[in-house]
Amino acid sequence: MEWLSEHGQAISAITSICTLFVWVFYAQLLYAGYARQRRPRIIINRGKGIGMEALCLISNMSNEAIFVQHLIAVLHTEKHSYSLDVVEYQQEGDEQEEDCYRTHQGPLGSGDYLHVQSFNSILQQIVNYWEIDDAVLEQEGLSLGIRVVALYGSEDMPTGAWRTFKMHLSEPPARQLEPTTIDTHRMNSKRQRKRVLQWAKDIEIHKVY
């Protein structure tokens, strides 16, 4: 007791410092959980099959709605890459109709999803727009990238996501489309969002309706 009395102030100071460290630790945990909940989460996947006729699905797993600005498809070949904004497209067999265009630009609520088109339809749009020769599609190492440019909440900088699928067009239909990664790459950091903004600027310059 005498020792405690003599060193009471020092013990009190040490206790206060330890308590401060504990509160800082818990504050970091709470902030990390809050930031994780606020972080946009967009998922790109296949649906209704795993071949080229599978639908391209965009899911919003964020806590808030997102506004889809652009859906950019990129065909990667051995020598070149060909990109096209497929947020707006013409449905097959609708050439004679006035309302022949469909759009995927707009809000997507939390937990909602949209199917863009089939991967084969997306590929054909790129081929038709860029007038790509059939011989190019017979090459090995073809892949189709899907990029999403979206706005999240009240944030000014756009957020994004991308995923790439290898195409094996010479294989049986069920094995023609293979994702290169298990999950979608999400572009949430400041540096990554600048890259997403550049995607939007590039596609706006060459936008096709």
Q: What is the per-residue pLDDT for 208?
A: 40
Provide the number of structural domains found in the chain.
Answer: 2
**Helix, strand or coil for residue 83?**
strand
Same domain, 25 and 119: no
In 17-125, where do the E strands start and end?
42-47, 55-60, 66-76, 81-85, 88-90, 101-103, 106-108, 113-118
Give the CA distances from residue 123 to residues 11, 57, 134, 135, in Å, rounded to whole numbers and listed in that order.
71, 15, 12, 14
Same domain, 12 and 98: no
Same domain, 10 and 66: no
Reported as a pLDDT band with limits 50, 70 and 90, residue 88 is confident
Same domain, 14 and 78: no
Same domain, 30 and 70: no
Helix, strand, coil fractions of the chain, as percent rounded to 5? 35, 35, 35
Q: What is the mean pLDDT of residues 88-93?
A: 61
What are the pLDDT digits (tens) for 38-82? 688 999 999 888 889 999 999 999 888 999 999 999 999 988 899
Range of the domain at 8: 2-35
* pLDDT above 90: percentage of residues in the chain: 45
Reported as a pLDDT band with limits 50, 70 and 90, residue 162 is very high
- Whether 69 contacts 86, CB under 8 Å: no
Mean pLDDT of the chain: 83
pTM (two decimals): 0.78
Same domain, 112 and 9: no
> Residue 173 pLDDT > 60, yes or no?
yes
